[in-house]
Structure 1
Amino acid sequence: MAATTKTPGQERHSRRGPWYTLLAALLLLLVGAAASAGVLDNLRSGGFDDPGSDSVAAAKGLERSFPNSQPNLVVLVRAPEGGVDGPEAAATGRTIGTTVSDTPGARVVASYFDSADATLRAKDAALVLVRIDGDENRSIATAKQLQEKLSAPGGKVSVTFGGITAINNDMNKQVTKDITAAESIAIPITLLLLVIVFRGLVAALLPMALALLTVIGSLGVVNVVAQLTSVSLFAVNLITALGLGLAVDYSLLIVTRYREERAAGRSDAEALRVTRATAGRTVLFSGGVVAAALATLLVFDQYFLRSFAIAGIAVVFWAVLGSTVFLPAALKLLGKKIDALGRRPRATAVRPPAEAFWGRLAGLAFRRPVLLATPVLVLLVAMAVPFAHSQFGVPDERVLPEKVESRVVTDTVRTDFGLTDDRVLNIVADNWRGSAADLDTYASALSRTAGVTQVVSAEGVFRAGAKVSPLPEQAAAGFRSGDATRLEVRTDIVSYSSAGATLAREVRAVPVPAGTQVLVGGQAAQLVDITHSIANRLPVAITLISVLSLLFLFLLTGSVAMPLKALALNAVSLLGILGGAVWVFQDGHLSDLLGFTASPLAVSMPVLIFCIAFGLSMDYEVFLVARIKERFDKTGDLVGSVREGLGASGPVITAAAAILAVSFFAMLSSGVSLIKMYGMATGLAIMIDAVLLRGVLVPAFMRAVGPYNWWAPAPLKALHRRFGIQESAEVDAPAAARTSTDLTSDLTTDLTQDEPYLTARRP
């Protein structure tokens, strides 16, 4: 083909184009920074409930008709020297009451200093119960104001705060603090690893620049979305960890391939063209798979889960955009300077990929598939066993460190005062159609339910089907409000347990008077509703994530076996990871070392971990299979393709996985056990996937399947030929390098001489 002469204008555009591209990246970074301003103040710490559930409706009914029954801020006053009846404590109590009354949206529900109610006093401590109106963010802001004005943790009279609003406030502060702490750990380690992997500072700084753009851009997207709908504060942890990790993953893939092509004798421009056609294509596919896996979280009703989908899709978009558009522009400008400040020439010749460690491991897996694969599968199954006794709950004060103020106060109220709503089912009827006798009958029937210790209603206190005492008129008034009525069902059963869930269902099954609708709330009912909501949506999510993954991998490989293999191996691996999470965070192993309180797993967390880890696992599947398929398309030699593919991609996958895992393992420094579990499980999933699944199980599987690895029915083959992704002929012809056949012919002889079918061409 004759060379094409560029005009002066085209030449100038060719030189200036990369600068324009990088200028656009800088402008996007500035826009993202502006859009992300104040993002943490606009996010929420809840989102675990199904907003359409009965338990949420019951909570809203109580807030609407019986707001004083739902205090959400507890003020604990301690006076160890003069006692709570002394003048100093009394003055503090009056100050608390006045300050709360003067604060818009806040009111005192009950105070020992106003009523001398003995239930609000324990030894040298007394309580003031406060109700703060408004949504989560508004109530937290009001609680902050009160704490700033009244907080006095030391001195003769101490004032500390607990309750759900204080817990949410402390959780927000802890998560914000932990993000900074985790990144202060992850960023230096990541940069160090990048310098080691790239053997140069300039090349190592490129992924860090891309990570900055990815994180800032994603925070901007999330902040904009937070103006329109509720977004969980915990999604920021995903943005920082995944943003850093994916930016490094994709940069590593692009830069490594670019260096390979230059080392093979291509010019800088030709090396960049081939890199974009091969590694760039892999990045696009990988981003699509990861985004698809995270997008399945949108099917759930809990905004906690949906927030991770929004954040994850934003991260993937920015990481893919940066690595396929902005990074190539930087490489074009740098050229051979990519190796500046490092990368000294090696003293000895570089071994071909098939003879490197990962290539030899692939060869061993082909020769001894059962010997290598069996221990890995046994390990994963053993890890999965604890998941069989998993218990689920909803995050409470136990996710915070033991010494955090709101947790200390909440524990004190439970142990010293015996006041707790975690073992109470709240029943509310906005329009009670029955008579007083009907209410008596209903309360009596509730009290006969197994596990119920007593029922309190406007008609009195009931135990074991009998009324044991009426309520004083003033107390009874707190259970009626116009046509609305409420009941409290007390139990000694742990709410977040299978027994608690059974109790909630049985209470809901108790007949009510005709024409009356009751709503049952409380922690046990909340757990039932969340579990039911997630269970209903889970089949849809699993179907979507499976179909989308199969579709992406089929378009990449044209195979039926390879996508099915990926799904099966991922499922086994992720069950092992979830079992490990149960063993550590529910059963309490390593709790002293990691610093957390064992508790049931938050019911949303297994779903979250599954979708994120599944997406990242498919990320590395694409990395590996793309390389193997590229070799196989050139040679038709299965053994050589696997050895070369794993030999070439193994170091990249391992380095990328190690760096990404660092971002997630850094979350173990968090004070919130929810974040610790998420970071540990995801980091462990990444390392197991990169080392054991890709290094051992994938080659062993391909050895077992043999020539059918790339098989597909004729109609699907035709579909792949039309819509699938294949390398161009130009890419298949390197400028100055030995062909893949030359490279592998001598490396595969020892593996194939006794098993000739392994080198068969595509069926």
Structure 2
Amino acid sequence: DGTKALATVTLGDDSGITFATFDQLLPQLEVPNVTSQFAGGSVVGISFSTTLESDLVRSEAIAIPIVLVLLIIIFGGVTAAAVPVFVGILSILSALAILRALTSFTEVNSFSLNVASLLGLGLAIDYGLFIVSRFREEMREGAEPADAAIRTVLTAGRTVIFSGLLLICAFAGMLVFPQPVVKSLGFGAMAAVFGAAVLSLTAVPALLAILGHRINSLTWSKTASDRSDARAQKFWGGVVTRVMRKPGVVAAVIIAALLVLSAPILTVTLGQVDYTALPKDDPARIAVETLNTEFPSTGEGATVVLRGLDGQKPQGSPIADVTRQADDVDGIARVEFSGSANDFVVLEATYGEPGEGETEEQSTSAAVAELRQMTPPDGTEILVGGDRALVDDGNAAIAKWLPAMIAIMVISTLILLFLAFGSIVLPFKAVLMAGLSLGATFGVLTWIFQEGHGAELLGITPAPLEATFVVLILAVVFGLSTDYEVFLMSRMVEARTAGATTEEAVIVGAQRTGRIVTAAALILIIVTGAFTISDLSIMRFLGVGMILALIIDATIIRMLLVPSLVKLMGEANWWAPAWMKKVHAKVGIGH
């Protein structure tokens, strides 16, 4: 309409401008008396980084005070509650320091910092909860502070070590992917787990030994925690007792419900992060949307690179040949010369309107695939890029390497759980429970974030699930699921070893772990919830996914489904081939 103009800015090789300093360039590009908007990959990337930084500070400021209040209620005192929170803060600093060191060897994505902070804070406080609870228990039984700290490390400390190993094995599976961003998220998660575990095994026992009996100072009721624990044991014992009266019905109903929740996965589609993950009022997002609306000729397209294999830039007929081939591809509206340099020529192939009954994603993906099938002129090669090509290539890489990741997680978990329990049945059951938890979690995520149910409430734009964060959630949920399984099953195995029947072992396990597992899950939910209050839809996706998984796993699966299945399977729970029993007797790590 004559009121808007578009200018493309290309940085020279000698500009000295980097991603870190790019935002300093933008004010210099503004024109007096003209409203300027800036779009492009670098501008969107800067918006992501800036938003992530502000989210991190806000999330920690919200989570830490709320968790401290919850711990005061759990422990009945301020001093005991302050120890896990203090170590949680140290864990954040530790994880960030590890990531800073990793930048010397590998790429570290901005999202990794928030993921490391989320997991570092949540896990360190959870681990601190276990350690402090066991220390106070030892003190109540008459142990001196130094001895109580040692016994705590030998008991609850082993739980922390085992938990850390399970989670690190889950996140290690992310390192098989070729994409640097996936590896970066894996490194961030592993840094968080490592820092949380090490600090919980060193700083927490040291603090407890120094505090000694003062761990119970600033307590309004010295019996509050004991009374709360007794009530929790009575509650969870009653729940499990009722579950085991009709274990078949309970198991069937819960499994059916989880499968129903999993159903939306059948229609799931994967995508990659783009500008739509930014808030709707973000200047970079507004600029991109303005560009797409006001200058449709710059709309999304494929970048076709024609490269000379002899080191020379293609000229004349090869360019015309490729242009003609690209123009004949279904879904391509036009092909234009874009530029050239060194030994290559760049063509821009703009997408047309999707065909009848075809989505935009289907149309553009088919066009990219057909462009890649073009016959290169003699002495040249054809490369096809662009946003859709990046998404398709990313999804293809995820699909290719996902089985390897799952294999690493499952095999390492089976081995660790066998070494802990000496049964081959319990590890497989734990993996199946994790699978049900994952299915239900991703089903609900698909229903919300892809299909758009509740999208307005969460302030999101319905879109395909971001593939990289799907991988991260898979690792987190699998790791936490098997982690909580260990807390419950270890107590069952302990009771079983002491001579209890299978039914008695189930009740003891639920009584002893129901409160601690629920409290640990609640702490992680609070921490995750604080990080979910983000301006980025992708962080909300991660947060909602973790919260759903924690609710499903720590209550429905862990305290209802697992006891019912253990009851149904009876003595078969403890079975393993004779030769494996011998192996466990020699190398089992116990728990």
Q: TM-score, normalised to structure 1's length?
A: 0.72
> Which residue of structure 1 lines up, in the alignment, with residue 329 of structure 2?
449
> Which residue of structure 1 lines up, in the alignment, with residue 431 of structure 2?
567
Check the 8 A contact 2:321/2:377 in 1, yes or no.
Answer: no
Q: Does 1:144 align with 2:23?
A: yes
Q: Match of 1:485, SS?
A: strand
Q: Deviations over 1:73-127 (max 9, x none)?
A: xxxxxxxxxxxxxxxxxxxxxxxxxxxxxxxxxxxxxxxxxxxxxxxxx442222
Q: Deviations over 1:542-594 (max 9, x none)?
A: 11011111111111111111110111111111121112222111222222211
Match of 2:351 among 487, 491, 500: 491
Q: What is the CA distance between 1:137 and its match in structure 2?
A: 11
Q: What is the CA distance between 1:350 and its match in structure 2?
A: 7.5
Check the 8 A contact 1:198/1:343 in 2, yes or no.
Answer: no
How many residues get paired?
584
Check the 8 A contact 1:392/1:496 in 2, yes or no.
Answer: no
Check the 8 A contact 1:434/1:513 in 2, yes or no.
Answer: no
Q: Residue 484 of structure 1 aligns to which amino acid in structure 2?
A: F
> Which residue of structure 1 lines up, in the alignment, with residue 81 of structure 2?
204
Q: What is the CA distance between 1:150 and its match in structure 2?
A: 4.6
Q: What is the CA distance between 1:598 and its match in structure 2?
A: 1.9
Q: What is the CA distance between 1:272 and its match in structure 2?
A: 3.6
Q: Match of 2:5, SS?
A: strand
Check the 8 A contact 1:496/1:523 in 2, yes or no.
Answer: no
Distance 2:28 2:308 in 1: 37
Q: Match of 1:426, SS?
A: strand
Question: How has the CA–CA distance of structure 1 residues 456 and 354 changed in structure 2, closer, same or farther, with 3 Å as cutoff?
Answer: closer
Map 1:268-667 to 2 at 5 A. 268-342=145-219, 344-346=221-223, 356-431=234-309, 436-457=316-337, 478-481=338-341, 483-492=343-352, 497-667=361-531
Q: What is the CA distance between 1:376 and its match in structure 2?
A: 2.4
Q: Does 1:710 align with 2:574?
A: yes
Structure 1 residue ranges without an equivalent (≥5): 1-121, 458-477, 728-763
Q: Match of 2:125, SS?
A: helix
Question: How has the CA–CA distance of structure 1 residues 480 and 188 changed in structure 2, closer, same or farther, with 3 Å as cutoff?
Answer: closer
Check the 8 A contact 2:425/2:575 in 1, yes or no.
Answer: yes
> Which residue of structure 1 lines up, in the alignment, with residue 55 of structure 2?
178
Q: Match of 1:517, SS?
A: strand
Question: How has the CA–CA distance of structure 1 residues 354 and 145 changed in structure 2, closer, same or farther, with 3 Å as cutoff?
Answer: closer
Distance 1:664 1:246 in 2: 11
Q: Residue 563 of structure 1 aligns to which amino acid in structure 2?
A: P
Q: What is the CA distance between 1:245 and its match in structure 2?
A: 0.9
Q: Residue 184 of structure 1 aligns to which amino acid in structure 2?
A: A
Match of 2:126 among 249, 253, 257: 249
Distance 1:159 1:253 in 2: 55
Question: How has the CA–CA distance of structure 1 residues 136 and 600 changed in structure 2, closer, same or farther, with 3 Å as cutoff?
Answer: farther
Q: What is the CA distance between 1:423 and its match in structure 2?
A: 3.0
Check the 8 A contact 2:502/2:571 in 1, yes or no.
Answer: yes
Question: How has the CA–CA distance of structure 1 residues 190 and 496 changed in structure 2, closer, same or farther, with 3 Å as cutoff?
Answer: farther
Q: Residue 530 of structure 2 aligns to which amino acid in structure 1?
A: A
Distance 1:145 1:270 in 2: 58
Distance 2:487 2:520 in 1: 11
Distance 2:25 2:149 in 1: 60
Map 1:25-174 to 2 at 5 A. 122-132=1-11, 138-151=17-30, 156-174=33-51
Match of 2:533 among 665, 669, 673: 669
Q: Report percent identity of matched pairs.
A: 33
Q: Match of 1:490, SS?
A: strand
Q: What is the CA distance between 1:133 and its match in structure 2?
A: 5.2
Question: How has the CA–CA distance of structure 1 residues 387 and 151 changed in structure 2, closer, same or farther, with 3 Å as cutoff?
Answer: farther
Question: How has the CA–CA distance of structure 1 residues 634 and 191 changed in structure 2, closer, same or farther, with 3 Å as cutoff?
Answer: same
Q: Residue 179 of structure 2 aligns to which amino acid in structure 1?
A: Q
Distance 1:381 1:629 in 2: 29
Bigger Cα Rg: 1
Q: Residue 145 of structure 1 aligns to which amino acid in structure 2?
A: Q
Q: Match of 2:583, SS?
A: helix
Q: Residue 407 of structure 2 aligns to which amino acid in structure 1?
A: T
Q: What is the CA distance between 1:656 and its match in structure 2?
A: 0.7
Check the 8 A contact 1:245/1:659 in 2, yes or no.
Answer: yes
Q: Does 1:685 align with 2:549?
A: yes
Q: Match of 1:428, SS?
A: strand
Q: Deviations over 1:608-634 (max 9, x none)?
A: 110112112222122222222222211
Q: TM-score, normalised to structure 2's length?
A: 0.93
Which deviates more from structure 2 when the two are superposed, residues 558-567 or residues 574-583? Answer: 574-583
Question: How has the CA–CA distance of structure 1 residues 276 and 493 changed in structure 2, closer, same or farther, with 3 Å as cutoff?
Answer: farther
Q: What is the CA distance between 1:410 and its match in structure 2?
A: 0.9
Q: Residue 334 of structure 1 aligns to which amino acid in structure 2?
A: L
Distance 1:266 1:288 in 2: 29
Distance 1:394 1:534 in 2: 11
Q: Residue 619 of structure 1 aligns to which amino acid in structure 2?
A: D
Check the 8 A contact 2:79/2:215 in 1, yes or no.
Answer: yes
Q: Deviations over 1:714-755 (max 9, x none)?
A: 11111111111237xxxxxxxxxxxxxxxxxxxxxxxxxxxx
Q: Match of 2:38, SS?
A: strand
Distance 1:280 1:351 in 2: 21
Check the 8 A contact 1:427/1:520 in 2, yes or no.
Answer: yes
Distance 2:220 2:520 in 1: 19
Q: Deviations over 1:635-685 (max 9, x none)?
A: 242222221111111101100111111111212211111111011101221
Question: How has the CA–CA distance of structure 1 residues 320 and 618 changed in structure 2, closer, same or farther, with 3 Å as cutoff?
Answer: same
Check the 8 A contact 1:430/1:483 in 2, yes or no.
Answer: yes
Check the 8 A contact 1:421/1:522 in 2, yes or no.
Answer: no
Q: What is the CA distance between 1:200 and its match in structure 2?
A: 0.8
Q: Residue 515 of structure 1 aligns to which amino acid in structure 2?
A: G
Q: Match of 2:37, SS?
A: strand
Check the 8 A contact 2:258/2:436 in 1, yes or no.
Answer: yes
Check the 8 A contact 1:354/1:640 in 2, yes or no.
Answer: no
Question: How has the CA–CA distance of structure 1 residues 381 and 702 changed in structure 2, closer, same or farther, with 3 Å as cutoff?
Answer: same
Check the 8 A contact 2:116/2:188 in 1, yes or no.
Answer: yes
